[in-house]
Amino acid sequence: AAFRVTADEALDLPGVLWTSHYCDLEPKARKIYDELEAAFYSAVEEGEITAANALVKLIRLHQIASGHIIYDGESSPTTVSRHKYDALIDVLQDLDEPVVCFTRFTADLRMIEEAADQLGRRYAEVSGRKKELDDDARFPKDVDILGVNIQAGGVGVDLTRARVAIYVSCGFNLGEFEQSAKRLDRPGQTKKVLYIRLITNHTIDDVIYH
């Protein structure tokens, strides 16, 4: 016989709290976002868009919601708004403890690293090009802020040294999102976990988290 037991039934963990920190695009970026969104809806209504094109446009909207965009013909992102950087600084200033910052985009990781440097905090990263964890795949003790790409650090790592995670951005993949959250809320965690979502008002951020 086999018995199925869920993590909630088997584990006695301290609990979690979810909260959101809202911020607004700067006027220039708001204009870019609104124009791109209007063009996207128009193309959908007129049947001029494929699933692949739709995905590309959704990613661009999401990039702008984080404050950057990669223009056609360019390989590097251009910063169009600093609203999430400012929001991240505001949140981190009130946290004198290890913090994990999850994100979808490489440009966001650079933003997190800049914020850590601005605040004099030690930074490390888990991404497609770096995996700066200790030998047991844990949050290093000599690091204050760990920037984590959700796809690269959503499974197989132990981040229970931190009790706070900030979601700078995240995609539509619910499995990746839930797995990333479980990197903190798992055996070894002794404190109540706080998850903070940075959400750009009136953008695709709202849709994704909904």
pLDDT in tens, 6-23: 555 545 677 899 999 999
**Which one, of 32, 41, 20, 107, lies nearest residue 64 by Cα?**
32
Q: Among 47-56, 67-76, 121-130, which stretch is predicted with the lowest mean pLDDT?
A: 47-56
8-state DSSP, 163: S
In this prediction, residues 86-104 reach a mean pLDDT of 96
How large is the average pLDDT for residues 188-205? 95
Q: Distance of alpha carbon 147 from its chain centroid, rounded? A: 9
Residue 48 has pLDDT above 90, yes or no: no
| pTM, rounded to two decimals | 0.89
Amino acid identity, position 83: H
Report how far residue 36's alpha carbon sits from residue 185's, in angstroms, rounded to the nearest whole number: 38
C-alpha 92: how far from chain center: 14
Does the pLDDT value for residue 45 go beyond 80?
no
pLDDT, greater one: 164 or 40: 164
User: In whole numbers, what is the pLDDT of the chain averaged over residues?
Assistant: 89
Q: Is the pLDDT of residue 5 over 60?
A: no
Whether 25 shows a pLDDT value over 70: the answer reads yes
Q: How many residues would you count in the chain?
A: 210
The pLDDT assigned to 143 comes to 96
| pLDDT value, residue 10 | 46
d(Cα 40, Cα 15) in Å, to the nearest integer?
A: 40
